[in-house]
Structures are given as C-alpha cells and as structure tokens.
C-alpha cells in the first residue's frame, strides 16, 4: 500500500516540478544580466568608497545588491505579462515559439498571477529600500506598459524606449544607494543600449524575412539598409561619448587613467558587430554576453581595470 502511495506521489510531483521549471524559464533568468547595470553607481563611486575594511562600503554594496534583486523581480513580472499578451505572435517566431507560454507548457493564468505577485512585491520591497528608488521602478513599469500597448508600434521610438529602460536601470542603481554618477554615463548607457536594440531589430528582420511583419508589425517600417546606417551612427557615438567621459567627467582621477579602459570598449563593440554581421547572433544580447568567451574576457578586463583606476589609483 505504501509503495502504491509512493508511486502516486511521484506521478503527481512530476507535473508540479515541470510546471515550476517552466515558470522559472518564463521569468527569463538570462535577462537578469541586464540588471547588473544597477551596480554601475557603486562601481563609479569607488574612488569615494574604496576602503576594503569599511562597513560603509559593504553597506552600499549590500544595498545595491538588494536593489538589483528587486529589479530582477519587477522585470520578470513584466516579461510574464508580455509573453501572456504576445502568445500568438511568439508562436510564429522560429525561436520564441519554444517559450513556455507560446509552447503551451505553462498556463497563461499562472503566468499572470505570478506576474502580479512579482510586480506588487517588488514595488513594496523597493519602497522599503528607498522611496526615490521605488519611484524609478514605478516609472520603468509605466514605460513598459506604454511600450506594450502603444510605443512598440511607433518606428524608431520603439528602440528608444528599449534603450531608456537601460538608463532607468542605471538611475535606479544610483538612487538605491543615494549616490551620483556622471551624466556622461547615462548618455553612454543610452547609446550602448540603442546599439543593442538596433542590432536586435536587424536580426529579427533578416531571420523572419517575409514573415517579419506578421510577428512584429513595426518591422515592416525598417529595412536592413536603414538599420545598418543607424547602427553605424550609434556605434561611433557610443565610442565618442565613452571616450569623452573618461577624461572630462567629474570624480575621475586627474591623471586621466580611466582612458586605459577605452580599448576594451572598442573591442567589445567591434566583437559584437562581428557576431551580428558575420554569425547572425544579434537577436539575443543576453545570450551573446553570457556565452561568447572573448566578450566575457574583455568585460572582465574592463571591470578589473576600471576598479583599479577608480579605487586603488584614485
């Protein structure tokens, strides 16, 4: 009898575990890498905070980490709602059709309920951390709602909104630790995110070809040539803005040592262009950033160099 009960329990457990796994996938954990931008303010204030044995520095790091986790919860809630709304369009996409909601592996009602819990919970947690930080999350949420309902159907504005979401992450990172970072970094963040968004649009347009507009109507307004021009302008602007930041921004070492990080940014952008144009990998920035070893290495070198310049070399 006990053996039969055990078999019955395992049969019930398997569907439950499968649902939990598909729900976790639907949260898009790979996308959480974008929220590492919330550490930007902490990193670029190392020249003021760099005291390895100081309780204040570790308190700031903890606050930034909590803010990042809260933003992950909020962004996952947004992804769930978007996927629940775009099920039919995703089913016409050769890659997105395998998502838990589009494939039918996850019930839509469960995704919506989870999304509401995550959105409300993250906003309440944000208020406990910092009211200005909570305000930035509320603005991000409102922007995502407007994007889903309207802005994603407006040519050029659609990629601007995507880029603005990255800027809000950087702003949220500064607000959660009540800090300040150079406006140059907000400009660089916007341009860098715009670069990624345009590469993504180009990948979608070429991948879906004649079916592009059926999946995402706004793709009918773009052409590969137009996107190539935009990507070229954005790449040059990003390099120039970052270079100007390294030797004009307040709070950096006066010896302009931050300029040592420029080659890493150049290589990172050129590597991404190589993967986009030579290997057609521009459709999923988070996949590239997580899997491409040369990019991982150059990002690591940039982080180490920037930390040394801003911390030890202040």
Q: What is the pLDDT of residues 16-70, one digit of tens each?
A: 788 888 889 989 988 898 899 898 888 777 666 555 556 677 788 889 999 999 9
Angle, in degrees to the nearest 10, between helices 224-248 and 262-279? 170
User: How many whole angstroms separate alpha carbon 197 and alpha carbon 203?
Assistant: 10
pLDDT at 12 over 60: no
Would you state the pLDDT for residue 9?
Answer: 44
Tens-place pLDDT, residues 167-178: 999 999 999 988
Which pTM was predicted? Answer: 0.84
| Per-residue confidence band for 1, with pLDDT thresholds at 50, 70 and 90 | very low
pLDDT in tens, 110-158: 889 999 999 999 999 999 999 999 999 999 999 998 998 888 889 999 9
Task: Decide if pLDDT at 83 tops 50.
Answer: yes
Q: Note the pLDDT of residue 157.
A: 93
């Amino acid at each position: 009898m006990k053996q039969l009960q055990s078999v019955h329990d395992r049969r019930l457990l398997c569907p439950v575990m499968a649902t939990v796994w598909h729900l976790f996938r639907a949260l898009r954990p790979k996308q959480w890498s974008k929220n590492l931008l919330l550490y930007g303010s902490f990193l670029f204030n190392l020249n003021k905070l760099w005291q390895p044995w100081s309780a204040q520095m570790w308190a700031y790091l903890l606050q930034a980490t909590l803010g990042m986790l809260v933003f992950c919860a909020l962004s996952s809630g947004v992804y769930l709602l978007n996927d629940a709304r775009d099920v039919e369009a995703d089913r016409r996409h050769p890659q997105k059709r395998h998502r838990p909601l589009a494939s039918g592996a996850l019930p839509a009602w469960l995704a919506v309920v989870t999304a509401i819990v995550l959105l409300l919970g993250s906003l309440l947690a944000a208020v406990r951390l910092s009211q200005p930080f909570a305000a930035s999350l509320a603005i991000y949420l409102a922007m995502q709602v407007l994007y889903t309902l309207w802005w994603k159907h407006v040519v050029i504005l659609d990629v601007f909104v995507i880029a603005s979401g990255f800027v809000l992450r950087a702003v949220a990172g500064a607000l959660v630790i009540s800090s300040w970072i150079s406006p140059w970094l907000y400009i660089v963040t916007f341009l860098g995110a715009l670069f990624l968004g345009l590469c993504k649009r180009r990948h979608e347009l070429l991948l879906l070809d004649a079916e592009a507009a059926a999946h995402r109507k706004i793709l009918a307004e773009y052409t590969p040539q137009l996107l190539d021009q935009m990507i070229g302008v954005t790449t040059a602007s990003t390099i120039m803005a970052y270079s100007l930041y390294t030797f004009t921004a307040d709070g950096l070492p006066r010896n302009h040592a931050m300029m040592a990080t420029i080659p890493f940014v150049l290589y990172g952008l050129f590597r991404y262009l190589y993967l986009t144009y030579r290997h057609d990998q521009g459709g999923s920035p988070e996949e590239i950033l997580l899997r491409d070893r040369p990019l991982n290495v150059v990002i690591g070198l940039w982080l180490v160099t920037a930390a040394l310049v801003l911390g030890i070399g202040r």
